[in-house]
Structure 1
Amino acid sequence: MAESAVFFLLDKLTPLLQQELQLLRGIRPEVQFIKDELERLKAFLRVADSFEDRDPLLKVWVKQVSDVACDMEDAIDEFTFRLVNNPGDGYCYLLRKLFRSLKNLRARHRIASEIQDIKSRVQGISRGQIPNIVEPGSHSGRPATRFESQGDALLLEEADLVGIDNPKRQLMELLFNDEPGREVISICGMGGLGKTTLAKQVYEDAKVKKRFRIHAWVTVSQSYNISELLKDMVQQLFNVIGKRAPLEVNNMKNDKLKELIKNLLQQSRYLIVLDDVWRTSAWDAVKLALPNKNFGSRVILTTRNKEVASSSCSESHNKVYNLEFLPQAEAWKLFCKKTFQGNSCPPQLEDICQGILKKCGGLPLAIVAISGALATKDGGNVEEWQMVYKGVVTETGGNDKLEDMKKVLSLSFNDLPYYLKTCFLYLSIFPDLYAIEHMRLIRLWIAEGFVNGEEGKTPEDVAESYLKELLNRSLVQVIEKSTDGRVKTCRIHDLLREVILSKSRDQNFATIAKEQDTNWPDKVRRLSILNSLQNIPQNRTIFQLRSLLMFGVLDSITQLSMTTLFPRGFKLLRVLDMQGSSLEVFPDQVVNLFHLRYLSLKDTKVKTIPPSIKKLQNLETLDLKHSYVTELPVEILRLQRLRHLLVYRYEVESYANFDSKYGFKVSPQIGGMQCLQKLCFIEADQVGHVMMIELGKLTQLRRLGIRKLRKEDGAALCSSIEKLTNLRSLSITSIEEDEVIDIQNISSPPQFLQRLYLCGRLEKLPQWIRSLKNLVRVHLKWSKLEEEPLEYLQGLPNLVYLELLQVYVGETLCFKAKGFPSLKLLGLDDLDGLKSMIIEEGAMPGLKKLIIQRCGSLTKVPSGIEHLSKLKTIEFFDMPHELIMSLRTNGEGEDYWRVAHVPVVYSTYWRSGGWDVYSVDTFEEIQNAEGDSNPGVAFRSLELRTLWKV
């Protein structure tokens, strides 16, 4: 990591020395000397970083270089901070300025002394004995380059994992056996064997979903919280039956939560997965909530602890499935799939690769990690591959497979170029098993200064490529993707996290305040606080904070508490992320953080932002999502470097409510904020015309969200949209449900637009939409069109997601042959006049999910639905009784044959005093049990698995 620290420092020193700054006499030569010496060491550090783990002396030397680089960066940042003068006027201001000048002079002398000390340390490092590196001549010494051509070919989908078919088949047999009572199946094995992957494959199987209508996946983890675990299970169970969980769930005690879960499962055949259980106490805390009735329910439990596995399966009929290491043949198949993209291994590399594979010990995680790194190597450079082999042999000489795997994973880390090492190491600040929001991570990397500039690309583009490379190397896992394929959340495997936590501690990269007995370093630059502020020590360490992030901190946070905890540790802060904390008032001291680039008060109770925020001249991200802020002061326009301005919240239960989202008011003169890339959601009702014109000046915008648009402001908006050539996402909501969105006259729409959201009346669907070849997602709501909208949409080649709510008042929708070639999800909601739906053969060939709800006149199953061969799920909600009855499976349903090929078909049914979701395959069973041949149907407004977001 010394390489990264030196590179980032040199990037900062070069412009500093070029500028005409009023440096103190004698300092410029010292700074120049430090820069020159670090430049000289830079090439050596590239090799040393990769070999430090095997040589204690080298490790100490690398740590010294890293520390001196970080201390120099602190000194430069403090020097810049001291040069900043706050504006003012009057006699009192002159007195304050005089006092500040004297104070700054003393501070600058102190900084000069620090730089002199750093120079002496650099001289000692340069003139002292540099530890030898094993076989230094065998390393090319050339910079590692970031590969661009591998793309998604290096990603390993769960369905492609070798050796999983037989274990999956055996587990399926255990799930489908005839035992009527509840059975527990424990999948046991060491970390990295693929327990979670196997369980996920079984859980997601269509046959399993069809048999176990009620299901939930709960991740337990090592540091589980039983209350949060039970609440998570409750939320999932309510979601799967199609209802919102009661609000009082958040305040329930554990006993009440267990009772609620038991009541929800009492009359059902269910499947519950408890993933990553570390202790028997976790199973004991949950099992009483899982009723043992004669419905054939099942529980799958994954654990690396044999005692947990045997304890959970102590009852009769329960099974322990011990997951084994991959046999040689399957390990080799996986290795080649990842390293050579499924091709055979070149003959000249076979012996080397077999040697590397042997050290992986059949552990899938180790194989995937090391092959992900090897995939970037030149297959013709045998010497380069030989060096990797020697590194593996040196690192993994013991018999302990877990330690061997950690060392192999360390090799994958060491193989990263310096900029990726820092970005990857940064993931250690997040709690274990934390779902990291993709865009949050991108913005944090940029604010920290980890992203290098590349000509023709924005920092966000470069950071995206960094994340993609980490995904391609299998060092980061995707947790959730949007329906149009975008990564929403990601995380790292817990064993990989152990590796980078260890390296983070060694290099003093970041400190995790998780417990009160945390081993604190002498100086803290990045601090991640987990759960409580009580974990922060008093007067035991120096807080020279560059980043402060909080996770799950529910303590009462006040300005006093922050000042008390870090009385002198804020002045160099670049990142302040207080997301989800109990903060109620904007902290006044924040506006004095000259270096602050990232400020998140998301999910807090903050209501107002002070005018003094104008002092944050380096701020790039202001995230106020789901806070109570509804208006920003005019002074916000002074933040000329702001790139992401995010202010909105949801306050209603259903996405189908017109007023489901709140934006913010701001001065209409917003056109001066030239760096803005994301702006949402501005409210345009009072200052619409001026603001719509001003938007045309924001030519860097990629995401724009507008609320409360008036019809008369549409022309000005159209003119501005034509200028926003970089726009990727556009969301427009009218001021009232019946207000017309007048955006017909756009002659040159943004050709890179990928997501379009129009909420309000449309006199006709804008014809320019059909020219947007890059559109992947379209949401139209309350359009109330008289002409069929499909004509303008079905030719879009890349459209993946289409949602229509009260869009069309006509009686017939016709999906024509060859239309919607890429569509995967279609949602139709509240098309009250719709009487027939025709799907011609060849239309929507890739459709996987169809959702139809609240179409009260549609009494027949869509004609041609039988042609949709890729369809996996159909969901009918709040639909006419005639349609539901036509899907009966006992031979009486005249249209069942149309949907017989679809694995999962849901309808709605009244049962036990509430509305639940059932498959048509169980329709007769339910009807007979209830003795009711005339079921009613009703359902909440379906959120189509997502709130309406840009």
Structure 2
Amino acid sequence: MAETTVSLVLNEMYKLLSAEVNLQTSVHNELAELKDELESIQAYLKDADTRAAAEVDNKEGVKVWVKKLREASFHIEDVIDEYLIYETKQTYDSGCIALLRIIIPLIETLIARHRIVYQIRGLKLYVHEIKARSERYNFHEEGSLRNGRGTQHFKWDDPRLGSLIMEEAEVVGFENPREELVHWLVNGETSRTVVSVFGMGGLGKTTLANNVFHNNTVKDYFHCRAFITVSQTYTVDSLLKDMMKQFHKENNDSLPLGINTMDGMSLVTEVRSYLQNKRYLIVFDDVWKEIFWDEIQNAMLENKGSRIMITTRNLDVANYCKKSSNVRVHNLQPLPTSKAWELFCKKTFRFSSNGNCPLELQNTSHEIVKKCEGLPLAIVAIGGLLSTKDKTVLEWKKLCQNLSSELQRNPHLASLTRILALSYDDLPDYLKSCILYFGIYPEDSSIRCTRIIRQWIAEGFVIHEENKTLEEVAKEYLTELVHRSLVHVSKVNYNGKPSNFRIHDLLHDMMVSKMKDFSFCHVVRKDDQDFYHDLMTRRLSIATSSIDVLMSIKQSKIRSMYMFEREKLSEDFLSRFFAKSILLKVLDLEGASLDYVPDHLGNIFHLRFLSLRKTKVKDLPKSIGKLQNLETLDLKETPVHDLPRDICKLTKLRHLLVCCRKSEESNTMNYEIGMRMNKGIGCLQLLQTLYHVDLDHGGLDLIKELKMLRKLQKLGLKNVKREYGKALCDSIQEMNHLESLSVSGKTEVEIIDLQHISSPPQLRRLDLFACLEKLPDWISRLSQLVRLSFRYSKLTSDPLKSLKHLPNLMRLTIAIDAYDGDTLHIEAGFPKLKRLKLSRLQNLNSIVVDNGALPAVKIIRIGNIPHLKDFPSGFHLLQSLETLYLNNMSPEFNRSIDPNDGSKYWEIKHVQLVSMREGVDGRYSYSTIRHPRNTT
């Protein structure tokens, strides 16, 4: 984090020194010299935080050095941001007619400039002293901070040691993974195969691999075996020597003479010679880097039936061996609830209570086990700690409520903390701030991908890469964190890609602790009164609406604030906070109980991310036009309908989201209303996301301006009229990057002609909620389309004939008078369609399914089709279908699939779940039909 902090402030200095800013000569020179000092310090920063945390030399010096460097960087950031505010204020006010209003800002700015020059000079001296101090800790010696990296050895307190000597009786929940891995090792491909066991730290990869290694079937199958611990501190020579020693020891052979002095090439030759004509198994435990395979593979002969097993926290490492070997990857999962409980009881009550949890402790114990989320190491560590404590409810609850702090200070949990921390320590510098961000959100939060990556971008964490948007780079960061087993996918979107993410509760606790140590963020709770003591805190995560706590916030240097309390916010607090927090970059008030925004909002010059989503705010202050750096404005699910004229001055805006429901009934034409925008939207040429826009307000002029937004990726349009059709098609055709398009007509009867697109963008999602009568020809050419919805379209010809060849379509909805015909014929096709919804089609009386149709379908929903009396023909052909939802269908339809005497019941016998919902006079009844898997 020290390196991250310095890098971020250096980036700001580079931009300021190179930008066309009215930078006073003295300010420029002082900043340039300060930049040079910081650059010279960067070389000393590698692993500084790791050494500071470990304090390997038992001195406080390193920790203090890192803290002071971080604070200096924060001060530099403050000076730069305050300087930019003064410069911008002069530029903004200089257009005033009154001479007085020109002179006063100029005088204020000159005074500010002189003060800033003195501040920079003071900081330069301070940084120079920090640099000089670094020499006393030998930071200039390459690798000195790596705590012995380059050697491989076990310490007696090494947290991995317990995994290697665990008794068979202590292993719980690994029966199925062990059986699978043993099968892969002694069966399968005849060629050399790499078996990778992948998962987060603490899942028991080492325990499982060791258990498999000592399995009798495995022992008997291989001629020679070796179990090598790799870790982050290895050399290839030491691994090869260890391997040879294990081979010779197992087979009672004598070691080759001089092996301890052999160089790398000689060792490779010796290993290859020994493995000649042998079927071998080598386990490489705890591999961190992809390059490891490049370094080791030359020693691994392509012997028939030989196996290499790798355990790793990184999916990229697990897959990397595919470049030169067969690979099987086992993604190790957390223990199921029953096994987690079994392991907890075995560890906690092994020598008491006959191995069972006392009744009075069960509720709290289940809560503790739940917090462990199936992580065996956590269960074992916490269970071991509890086994030493009094078996009282009070003692148990105390630990449960204070588990986060116990992880940091209790020696019984040190191994757990160290194992989890290894994943953080191994991260490249640019990802450390990104993973810490998950600690800002409340425990067990499922965080939207778009929300967190836009905040990362606003914070400056995302590094620009050529030919990629910042959003694309940020998504790659998220993917890397997932592959490193630090972040987990909690929800996927319509195309099967991750949309929401979360981290393990225990990792969350660790991130909260690190955030506090690094002054990264402070979580403000109801009982928290001391957060303002740390004047360096950069971010506030507020989980309280207590007036006393909120009003005691005196920070003015914070860069980000997040509100997670749902109770009413004090208007006095909001006014004061907005007035003094002029350095904010991120302001996330999603879900907060507030109904207005103070006019002081316009003073927050550096603000880049503003979310008022799910609040009751109805209007934005006119001053919002001053937010020249705003990149994201999220007003989704708010009553905001009219945007101020000055919104068009926000030329850095990338994401503008406005969507308000005026009706809870989603089956109405315009249950959502869009935003009214004034002329000038064409100036927002960086926009990637824009929805929903009320075209009835801007009309043809607004549509023509949309043509200028060539970077748009997502566009939503409301109240589209007949006369807009041609102009709208012309604008859409210019949007080469458009991936998602939603078009809603003004009325249910007004026909919208969308035929005039000869070269459509490569859409992935298309929602057409308008009367079309005829399916636009270009839709059948959308080869990248994943999700397609029609409502109110009144199509007269069966649309399925034109859509069946779409190669990537995964979800299709035809609903609410989208089709006026009486028959839908699902012909062979729809190769990837997984979900199909047919609903509220008033004239439909027949559905026919051909052989070869919907080969991948998983879920079908049919509902509110009154004239469909008979169950569709050909459903028995849909062998991949798992779930069928039937909503408010006719009695005749439902009787036809009755398990007792339904004439069409045979059509659904292969479907695992059939759910029926029937409504009469506003009252609903539910019934289900379940079939075991693989039944016909």
- TM-score by structure 1 length? 0.70
Is 1:631 paired with 2:642?
yes
Aligned to 1:859: 869
- Determine helix, strand or coil for the equivalent of 2:726: helix
- Do residues 42 (structure 1) and 42 (structure 2) align? yes
In structure 1, C-alpha distance between the alignment counterparts of 2:461 and 2:640, rounded to whole Å:
30
Of 604, 607, 611, 1:596 maps to 607
CA 1:164 to 1:590, structure 2 compared with 1: closer, same or farther past 3 Å? farther
Aligned to 1:680, the other structure's residue is in SS state strand
Aligned residue in 2 for 1:771: 781
Residue 165 of structure 1 deviates from its aligned partner by: 7.0
Mapped to 2, the partners of 1:404 and 1:826 lie a distance apart of 50
CA distance, structure 1, for counterparts of residue 232 and residue 655 of structure 2: 49
Distance (whole Å) between structure 2 residues aligned to residue 489 and residue 45 of structure 1: 33
1:106 to 91, 108, 111: 111
- Corresponding residue of 1:328: 207
Indicate if the aligned counterparts of 1:373 and 1:412 stay in contact, CA closer than 8 A.
no
Q: Secondary structure at the match of 1:524?
A: coil
Equivalent of 1:530, from 531, 543, 546?
543
Which of 648, 672, 677 is matched with 1:666 structurally? 677
* 586-595 vs 26-35, greater mean Cα deviation: 26-35
Q: Match of 2:562? A: 549
Provide the residue aligned with 2:802 in structure 1: 792
Judge conservation of contact 2:201–2:420 (CA < 8 Å) in 1.
Answer: no
Matched position secondary structure for 2:537: strand
Please give the alpha-carbon distance, in whole angstroms, between the structure 1 residues aligned to 2:864 and 2:921. Answer: 22
SS in 1 for 2:802: helix
C-alpha spacing 1:354/1:627, structure 2 compared with 1 (3 Å): closer
Map of 1:241-640 to 2, 5 A cutoff? 328-329=207-208, 350-352=228-230, 374=288, 376-381=290-295, 402-520=413-531, 521-534=534-547, 536=549, 542-558=555-571, 560-565=572-577, 568=580, 570-640=581-651
Kindly state the Cα deviation for residue 845 of structure 1 after the two structures are TM-superposed: 0.9
Q: Distance in 1 between matches of 2:494 and 2:174?
A: 26
The residue correspondences of 1:175-214 to structure 2 (distance < 5 A) are: none
| Counterpart residue identity of residue 902, structure 2 | G
AA in 2 matched with 1:831: L
Structure 2 residue identity aligned to 1:881: P
| 1:900 and 2:909 aligned | yes
The answer on whether the counterparts of 1:163 and 1:326 sit within 8 Å (CA) in structure 2 is: no
Structure 1 equivalent of residue 131 of structure 2: 126
SS in 2 for 1:876: strand
Specify the code of the residue in structure 1 equivalent to 2:15: P
Matches of 1:91 and 1:564, distance apart in 2:
28
Please give the secondary structure, in 1, of the residue aligned with 2:99.
Answer: helix
CA distance in 2, matches of 1:401, 1:373: 26
Corresponding residue number in structure 2 for 1:28 = 28
1:476 Cα offset (Å): 1.1
Q: Which amino acid aligns with 2:452?
A: L
Question: Residue type matched to 1:128 in 2?
Answer: R
Question: Residue 19 and residue 800 in structure 1: after superposition, are their counterparts in 2 closer, same or farther (change >3 A)?
Answer: closer
Alpha-carbon offset, residue 610 of structure 1: 3.0
Whose relative contact order is higher, 1 or 2, with alpha carbons under 8 Å and at least 6 apart?
A: 1
Residue 754, structure 1, aligned to residue 770, structure 2: no
Q: What are the ranges of 5 or more consecutive residues in structure 2 without an aligned counterpart?
A: 148-170, 180-199, 214-221, 235-283, 298-309, 315-376, 382-406, 932-936
- Cα deviation for residue 379 of structure 1 reads 2.0
In the alignment, which residue of structure 2 is the partner of 1:920? 929
CA separation in 2, counterparts of 1:355 and 1:43?
21
Query: Is contact 1:778-1:801 (8 Å) kept?
Result: yes
Separation in structure 1 between the aligned mates of residue 671 and residue 66 of structure 2, nearest angstrom? 54
Deviation at 1:136, TM superposition (A): 4.8
* Residues 76, 332 of structure 1: alpha-carbon distance in 2 compared, 3 angstrom cutoff: farther
In 2, are the aligned partners of 1:52 and 1:58 still within 8 Å (CA)?
yes
Which aligned pairs between 1:639-654 and structure 2 lie closer than 5 A?
639-654=650-665
CA spacing shift, 1:162–1:832, aligned 2, 3 Å: farther
Cα shift at 1:162: 11
1:1-44 CA deviation, whole Å, 9 max, x = no partner?
A: 01111111111112322346444554333322221122122233
Map of 2:711 onto structure 1: 700
Q: What pairs with 1:729-744 in structure 2 (closer than 5 Å)?
A: 729-744=740-755
- Confirm or deny that 1:68 pairs with 2:64: no
* SS of aligned partner of 2:293: coil
What is the distance in 2 between the residues matched to 1:801 and 1:452? 35
Alpha-carbon offset, residue 642 of structure 1: 0.9
The Cα shift of 1:46 comes to 2.4
Per-residue displacement from partner, 1:496-554 (whole Å, max 9, x unpaired)? 11111111111101111123334421333211111315363666854302111111242
The residue aligned with 2:6 is 6
Over aligned residues, Cα RMSD in angstroms? 3.7
Q: CA deviation at 1:677?
A: 0.8
Contact 2:540–2:561 (8 Å) recurs in 1: yes
- Structure 2 Cα separation of the partners of residues 837 and 387 of structure 1: 51
1:852 is displaced (CA, Å) by 0.2
Letter in 1 for 2:765: R
What is the identity, as a one-letter code, of the residue corresponding to 1:350? Answer: I
Whether 1:833 and 2:843 are equivalent positions in the alignment is yes
Moved more, 602-611 or 621-630: 602-611
TM-score normalised by L of structure 2? 0.71
1:761-814 CA distance string (max 9 Å, x none): 112111111111110000111111111001121111111111111221222211
Contact 2:614/2:638 (8 A) holds in 1: yes
Q: 1:687 to 1:28 in 2, by over 3 A?
A: closer
The DSSP-based 3-state class of the residue aligned with 2:229 is helix
Q: CA deviation at 1:862?
A: 1.6
Greater shift, 651-660 or 739-748, is seen at: 651-660
Which amino acid is 1:561 matched to?
Answer: F
- Map Cα deviations across residues 564-596 of structure 1 (whole Å, 9 max, x no partner): 35763x121111122222222221001111111
- Is 2:858 the counterpart of 1:848? yes
Distance 1:494 1:760, change over 3 A: same
Query: CA offset at residue 372 of structure 1?
Result: 9.6
Whichever residue aligns with residue 904 of structure 1, its letter is L
Give the % identical residues.
Answer: 37
Aligned to 1:78: 82
Structure 1 unaligned residues grouped into runs of 5+: 142-160, 170-190, 195-324, 335-343, 357-369, 923-950
Give the superposition deviation at 1:446. Answer: 0.9
Instruction: Find the residue that maps to 1:866 and give its secondary structure.
Output: helix
Higher alpha-carbon Rg: 2
Q: How many residues align?
A: 719
| Contact preservation (8 Å) 1:483, 1:825 | no
| CA distance, structure 1, for counterparts of residue 91 and residue 910 of structure 2 | 70
The question of whether the paired residues in 2 share the 8 Å contact of 1:372 and 1:473 is answered with: no
Aligned counterparts of 1:355 and 1:901: Cα–Cα separation in 2:
54
Question: Cα deviation per residue 1:459-497 (whole Å; 9 max; x = unaligned)?
Answer: 111111111111111211122212421322211111111
Aligned CA distance change for structure 1 residues 382 and 103 (closer, same or farther; 3 Å): farther
Is 2:891 aligned against 1:886? no
- The 1:132/1:699 distance shift into structure 2, 3 A limit, reads same
1:550 alignment partner AA:
M
* In 2, Cα distance between equivalents of 1:371 and 1:861: 56
Instruction: Name the amino acid aligned to 1:794.
Output: K
The farther-off stretch of 51-60 and 892-901 is: 51-60
Contact between 2:52 and 2:62, CA under 8 Å: does it hold in 1? yes
Does residue 715 of the first structure (1) align with residue 719 of the second (2)? no
Q: Quick one: distance in 2 between partners of 1:893 and 1:40?
A: 81
3-state DSSP of counterpart to 1:17: helix
CA contact (8 A) 2:230 2:285 kept: no
In the TM superposition, what is the alpha-carbon distance from 1:122 to its structure 2 partner?
0.6
